[in-house]
Chain A
Amino acid sequence: RKEVEQDPGPFNVPEGATVAFNCTYSNSASQSFFWYRQDCRKEPKLLMSVYSSGNEDGRFTAQLNRASQYISLLIRDSKLSDSATYLCAVNTNAGKSTFGDGTTLTVKP
């Protein structure tokens, strides 16, 4: 079993839709959590960190459930420009991240 698992998708949604991604992790000692966005043929870039209290950045909301060991990303009012692969990442030892394989989102007009 992988340390960090994501549904690979693809998720195909119309503009304006709300879409949610989940990511589960196996190591209960994990300390920090992130969502990265990766555009086609580009490098991953941080979308947002995920805090225990949950956090929101515009149309994006990230949540952490330590008891069930998963993190989620909710995108509201999807835009065409949201089409990308979304990677979750979990840090267990300081500085070292384990990444999920990514979930591909395509937003269609």
Chain B
Amino acid sequence: DVKVTQSSRYLVKRTGEKVFLECVQDMDHENMFWYRQDPGLGLRLIYFSYDVKMKEKGDIPEGYSVSREKKERFSLILESASTNQTSMYLCASSSPRDGSTDTQYFGPGTRLTVL
């Protein structure tokens, strides 16, 4: 089974802090994604990556950056956390080699609260 893990389930940070959210997948997937999920707004794509050292902006990249130095790890960085970044953050991975045609496998999520 594909396993996607995220570094924290719950995180509380203060406004202005730099925040790192880590995601690791163990299935050698090429594609990795970061979403945030908010009530009434659904899942929104922040950034994604098709390969090591590659990154692409999603629909809401402002205030975020990412890093993919190794294939299995995709990090989301909040350079200066703000209260409007309080949300559930979900990481996902997929592979074009997967017979299920790019099914996304999600991590358990990190609920971030910025005070």
Contact = CB atoms under 8 A, between A and B. Distances in A.
Contacts of A91: 101-102
B88 to A, nearest CB: 9
Contacts of B64: none
Contacts of B102: 32, 91, 94-95, 97
Contacts of B31: 95
Interface residues of B, number: 23
A87 B103 contact: no
A99 B103 contact: no
A96 B31 CA distance: 9
A42 B40 contact: no
A99 B103 CA distance: 12
Interface residues of A, number: 20
Given A43-B90, A43-B109, A97 B42 contact: no
Contacts of B108: 42-43
Nearest to A100: B42
A15 interface: no
A43 B106 contact: yes
A73 B31 CA distance: 27
A89 interface: yes
A109 B47 CA distance: 42
Ranked nearest first, the 6 interchain pairs of A and B with the lowest CB-CB distance are A101-B42, A43-B106, A99-B43, A95-B31, A32-B101, A46-B103
Interface of B: 30-31, 33, 40-43, 45, 48, 50, 90, 94, 96, 100-109
